[in-house]
A and B are shown apart, each in its own frame.
Chain A
């Protein structure tokens, strides 16, 4: 989103954040109000919509795909989550046509980097490998519907929301001709004479408690900020994208990705301070997110958030 603010307004804003007071009344470590709702798209296997400060709006949807692959070319288990980020022209006019493609690829690449060890921090993700040569591929498609700052933060929340909403069918694997296997959906029977299609398929869910959050930490003046609004983004000197995964039982943190993006120079001390701030912010968001995921009421299937 383009914002035009004068030099004096910028100076006012910079002096404000340096004394820990932002224009909307937040302190440097505060986030805007967040809205997270799951099950918003009926055509997906898992979906989530996140709104940050009523203006950044992100929609994530997961499509599952049973993929067969060559076991000789890929002997080791690979990370099955694939990201695709799409900026709609509604978010900003600069994304009209193919304008957002490159940027979207870059953001998706950052998420790939942050989730490159997802097999480690999602304990049951290895279950997506259903048989030798067959696995569930998780296609995560993210659309930026509205953009008013800090969209990577919103995307990372939407990604975790969608992963927690994702239901993966249980399958039965039976050997087949020619050394291959046949994969059939598992339908538990409890007696009776029901037709096969009427028996619901058994589903399982991912454990998302340790999924990394990708947060932007920005340097404005001498202050470090999280969750910048567009006015603040026009004053940024340098920005770090920090991915942190938390181990809730041991209170341990792992950094899965740090990227300095968008130009700008940073002192070493600043980098460490910014990572520390990201860690602090991650802790608070993890708590809020866990609470929300527990207490959220399920939507009726078939209703989109637009209704």
Chain B
């Protein structure tokens, strides 16, 4: 039987090395609460095919792929249909929550009217989840969207922050988000300055909501150059 070689091309030296046994270590002690975990973003993961993105925040790793726009022979409306296949999330409630949020975010940025009768199929695989899977997935999808060439309003960046006592913590891992009051995953389009997705959870006093959202927005803004760089790099590689 012939061996099928995978064309997955994430060079291993580009992945930041975090041993899995490091998970339990309390990283807030080493890490400033306003800094992200070590991250790696890549636009265009599969060499031969358009529309893939990869994002890694600490131990949370997500791969996104976009297929289409293609006609499926059934969809005939004047706009494109967006379908989502989310893998690697075991908890059914979480799955439904993420699915609704991701679909809502993507459908607000893609110009669906430009692709009548087409289907855009998005496949997201959560390879490992150590907190902030939703914001990592949204970042990966945004990169995949940029790589796919589908017309959309602009780049989306997203950040996950939590509130613990009076302290705001950026991008916490699972162990760091224990005992928090609440948190938010915030994603927005920097060139419009408008949000595409908000997912706030926990029990946040109403007077803290504004500051929490504003903090999340600042953190999402700080990710913009990193994502720009990843996209520029993929363009260079194409040449």
Contacts and interface: CB of A to CB of B under 8 A. Distances in A.
B187 to A, nearest CB: 9
A268 B195 contact: yes
5 contacts: A254-B205, A256-B201, A258-B209, A261-B101, A265-B196
B108 to A, nearest CB: 4
Contact of B104 (A105, A108, A260): A260
Contact of A275 (B93, B195, B201, B206): B206
A186 interface: no
A272 interface: yes
Contacts of B189: 265
B100 interface: yes
B194 A262 contact: no
Given A117-B203, A240-B198, A257-B200, A265 B97 contact: no
A263 interface: yes
A263 B108 contact: yes
A263 B97 contact: no
Interface of A: 102, 105-106, 108-110, 112-113, 116-117, 120-121, 238, 240, 244-245, 252-268, 271-272, 275, 279
Given A105-B92, A108-B93, A255 B209 contact: yes
A267 B192 CA distance: 9
Given A256-B204, A265-B108, A268-B195, 13 more contacts: A106-B96, A106-B100, A253-B205, A255-B206, A255-B209, A256-B203, A258-B198, A259-B198, A260-B198, A263-B107, A265-B192, A267-B195, A279-B206
Give chain B's interface residue range (CB within 8 Å of chain A): 35 or more
Interface in B110-153: 153
B195 A116 contact: no
Given A106-B99, A245-B203, A258 B184 contact: yes
Nearest to B210: A272
Contacts of A268: 193-195, 213-214, 217
Contacts of A106: 96-97, 99-100
A100 B107 CA distance: 19
Contact of A109 (B100, B194, B217): B100
A252 B194 CA distance: 29
Contacts of A275: 206, 209
Contacts of B204: 254-256
Contacts of A263: 104, 107-108
B199 interface: yes
Contacts, number: 107
B172 interface: no
Given A258-B184, A260-B196, A110 B97 contact: yes
**Most chain A CB atoms below 10 A, which of B93, B184, B213, B214:** B93
Contact of B213 (A109, A264, A271): A271
Contacts of A266: 194-195, 198
A208 B192 CA distance: 42
A257 B201 contact: yes
Interface in B143-170: 153
Q: Which 10 A-B pairs have the closest CB atoms?
A: A258-B200, A105-B96, A265-B194, A109-B97, A106-B100, A109-B96, A263-B108, A253-B206, A263-B107, A260-B198
B51 interface: no
Nearest to B94: A109
A102 B189 CA distance: 27
B197 interface: yes
A283 to B, nearest CB: 11
A271 B195 contact: yes
Contacts of B93: 105, 108-109, 112
A159 B72 CA distance: 41
B202 interface: yes
Of B107, B195, B205, the most chain A CB neighbours within 10 A belong to B195
Nearest to B187: A260
Interface in B189-239: 189, 192-206, 209-210, 213-214, 217
B101 A259 contact: yes
Contacts of A105: 92-93, 96
Nearest to B108: A263
Given A106-B100, A258-B199, A259-B198, A264 B108 contact: yes
B205 A252 contact: yes
A255 B108 contact: no
Contacts of B199: 258-260
A272 B96 contact: no
Contacts of B108: 238, 263-265
A253 B100 CA distance: 26
Contact of A272 (B182, B197, B213): B213
A112 B201 CA distance: 10
